[in-house]
Structure 1
């Protein structure tokens, strides 16, 4: 008779790889995405040419692209990007260090989850930007304040996903573990953590994008340096093309972080069979 450890350690079946028939579909999808992007740029250019929106508020896409190319050679541009990324990463790491263990503990033990449910639901109902004046009074307009706001915005998605993952152990495996009286540490390492890892990775991926957006939002509302502060400064100075170039930079960062997170998740989860095998 095989033990629980044998059951858990057994390698998962290899994912079902998409055949050659999936290539045309992927190519069509990429083409549609490209056409959608080009369509938005064309519409943007038409609005600019027809003067439907003031040029001081909405520059043409070509002016924005030209200014973006100029900014790439400016050290101040890279300094602003670095400020935003640094505080976003610090807040995200703090959220992961605190949110993942707490989520695993409350997801594993029913008493811990039930006793903390009211507090968690109460705290995560606050819009984090609405708490910004409080943090400004307590911490001042400092990078630590921005990192704290990012942490609060990211910790609950990470916490809840880790908690959900810890509760996702199949009932049959959970009953087998109890029947064999597997030690807690071994149960956590061989049963709970593998089951929770997909949900944890999803929470981290969502939080990674949120961290950059919140950091930029804080910079817009305060005097802290970063992409958001540059958007405000350039807009107030009448350099709308530079402001849109920084907004475009924020979009590139968000997209890049999301794609990198998805790639990392896929690489780390190769052992996991596909959810809907063909």
Structure 2
């Protein structure tokens, strides 16, 4: 009778392999962070070089040192936090309504082939329609209000959620569909146990895109219409020739978008913990 190989049954033999994998992943993460930090250093050095050579006027591109000096002063002012709250509020409301509209409608269109084919031309047309083009009409209807900003955010954010939900609902394997029909599984149970898990990875991708887009669109609307928020504060600071402070607001908007994307990524990892992960082997 042949003996079982020691490497297959002795945990002490397997432990170095596990530790090696963990150390390999840690090394990969360290290299990734180092490369990202190196790119940031290059960008900062190029920025400072352009400012030192006076390639661009300081009124348009201040040095990073002046931006860093202006940051503590602006961050202690209530107008900055009031503007940030207005931007986050408008973006959050528009984003939430985009999810409430896009996910159910996308799942319905993805599973109802006739409805999806009938609406495809309309969806393609309005998806390519720039939300900024309807702002004059919205300004006439609602003025410079929160409602106007929320509508523009919805018009920009609903499409990635809607389209990804359609793709997710259509991603069911033909064998799975045939099995559901053969066993006559109720529609609600099919939706909860089959359609929704299959569509969730696609939906989460659309949610990540819409989450970041909501902040960018909200700031853009505030700049164009001078509605309350970071966008209006940026315009005011630039008009007062306080360009370093304006760049502090610009960086704040970028940080907000990054943090939102990071939070959605954490949510994605928890919702999709059941997915098999790539071991890197």
TM-score calculated relative to the size of structure 2: 0.90
Match of 1:28 in 2: 31
- Does residue 275 of structure 2 align to residue 272 of structure 1? yes
Match of 2:135 in 1: 132
What's the CA shift string for 1:68-125, capped at 9, x where partnerless? Answer: 1222211111111100000000000000001100000000111111111111111111
Unaligned runs of 5+ in 2: 1-20
1:151/1:275 CA distance change after superposition, 3 Å: farther
- Does residue 200 of structure 2 align to residue 197 of structure 1? yes
Match of 1:245 in 2: 248
Could you say what secondary structure the match of 2:23 adopts?
Answer: coil
Distance in structure 1 (CA, Å) of the matches to 2:56 and 2:109: 52
Match of 1:233 in 2: 236
- Tell me: higher relative CO, structure 1 or 2? Use CA pairs within 8 A at least 6 residues apart: 1
- Selected match of 2:112 from 101, 104, 109: 109
Count residues in correspondence: 261
Q: Report matched runs for 1:111-260 at 5 Å.
A: 111-260=114-263
**Alpha-carbon deviation of 1:137?**
1.5
**Alpha-carbon deviation of 1:60?**
1.0
1:202/1:228 CA distance change after superposition, 3 Å: same
- Choose 148-157 or 268-277, whichever is displaced more: 268-277
Match of 1:71 in 2: 74
**Alpha-carbon deviation of 1:61?**
0.3
Distance in structure 2 (CA, Å) of the matches to 1:254 and 1:183: 41
- Which structure has the bigger radius of gyration? 2
Runs (4+) of structure 1 exceeding 2 A deviation are 274-278
Across the aligned residues of Structure 1 and Structure 2, the Cα RMSD in angstroms comes to 1.3
